[in-house]
Amino acid sequence: MAGQELSGALLPDVRNYLDITWPDPDGDKKLEGIILRGAAYVQRLTCRQLTFEEGTAERGLLFDYCRYAMAGAPEDFSENYRAELLTFRTDEEVLEHAKSSQDDTGV
């Protein structure tokens, strides 16, 4: 999903997660930017291409990033979610190792 498409698709759910129930076009524009930056940031930290599908841990991480950013503390996110982010990285390394092992054995 492309950036603008992603932020537009996730905006209602992020608004709900943050308990934003009132109409706020300017706030929505700001929140869409936070969603885009958060998605890129979480992908960079996890070293994976993420989809942010409903019910996934990556979606939860993105929503939590948005919560931190809206509170003015995005710099605290990576520290407070270090374990979750490292789990994504470790999973990616395991998948890469398994793939390279398959390629080496021809299986």
pLDDT of residue 104: 67
What is the residue-averaged pLDDT of the chain? Answer: 90
**Residue 50: is its pLDDT beyond 90?**
no
Instruction: State yes or no: pLDDT of 29 exceeds 90.
Output: yes
pLDDT higher than 60, residue 33: yes
Check the CA dihedral 43-47-52-57 and report its sign: negative
pTM (2 d.p.): 0.85
Q: Is the pLDDT of residue 61 over 60?
A: yes
Q: How far apart are CA 59 and CA 55, in angstroms?
A: 7
Whether 58 contacts 51, CB under 8 Å: yes
The pLDDT assigned to 4 comes to 80
CB 89 within 8 A of CB 47: yes
